[in-house]
Structure 1
Amino acid sequence: MCVDVVATLEAASLLVPERAATADDITVTDVWDYLAHDEWEVALDLLQELRGAWTAPPGFWEELGRAAEMLGLERSREWCWWRSAETRVGVIRAELALDPAGVSFRRTPVPGAGVLRPMWDIGHRVEDGSSELDIARVWVEFAPDLPPGGRAAVRLLPLTPARWTHLGPGDRITMYECAVAGGSATILEVCPPVTLRP
């Protein structure tokens, strides 16, 4: 297994430009040092955080997802698969505020790792003027879950991405898990899918 993990992380590392760096100025060279010392989980974490003047191609996240799976890191694997999907459909980030437990259907926290697939009122209407709801999975950023009454930055992965293209920063959308609204979100960021240059 160790050879497979190293090969997979090395393959992902080769997709990162040398100029890409974390907020702490960690670069792909540092990742290679961790790989040389068999610090695979650290290398994986750093590769997930590398950012800067580059956009990760789809293959990058698939490689990291495979490595996380081989290492038995379920949440990291799910995060990498999520990011891989975002390269194909685009990124939608929002600030989600859940209604308190006594007000809405939800009594337990929203799981953070993209499990919940609620419906959203994003402005589409049917012929009679009522809302036509759309489905999008929810990933809670920087937390394992979001409790009722809580507020957090989230990422949304729509079932039908083309229906969400009209949204932009500042737009408000409403979340439904049943007939009654369970929360509202303000769009923070919308990025198109990654397009590969020929």
Structure 2
Amino acid sequence: MAGRPSVSSGQEPGAPRKAFPSTFNSRDQVQMKDILCQLEHLYNVYSVLKDQVDQLTDNKVDRAEFEELQELLLERGQQSMAHVLADLQTQVSSLQALEWELQHVKQEVRQLEEAFGKLGLAGADGKAGSSDQSPLQLGHHRLAGAQDDVVPQTPHLGTGALPTSPAPVGWIGTPRAGQD
């Protein structure tokens, strides 16, 4: 029987054998040492493999958590991007409304300038007294220079509507002595 320690020759062939002989010869000791070394090696391999399995399990959990976090961040990122996009669209709408309002105000200013020009604010060449002032600015300076004249308050002021009655003669169009 190969691989089993030999039993002392003092046993009879039909007698039961002892499981572990009390003494080992040198050959048996070498075999036992080899077996113990192999067991130790197997245990070390087992420990390394067990650690690797544990690490892979942890990594799998970490990876699953990482993927969950990544999905959550992407979802929140998309939500925040949607929020930012909605804010930008609101701001664009507001800017477009302001642009329209500005164009409307510019048109009203042009209409007022034309109306003041028709009332006699413009000089003979069709321009206001000074090239760097608009007819509205000139009208303001002329009104500010009037000492005793009272500016009539019509219900149309502040509404953007033009008065339908002409201004009194000499009220705005005629500069006083000493004024440009």
TM range (shorter): under 0.3
Scaled by the length of structure 2, the TM-score of the pair is 0.21
* Greater C-alpha Rg: 2
Q: Which structure dedicates a bigger proportion of its chain to strand?
A: 1
Query: When the two structures are superposed, what TM-score results if normalisation uses the length of structure 1?
Result: 0.20
- Structure with the bigger RCO (C-alpha within 8 Å, sep 6+) is 1
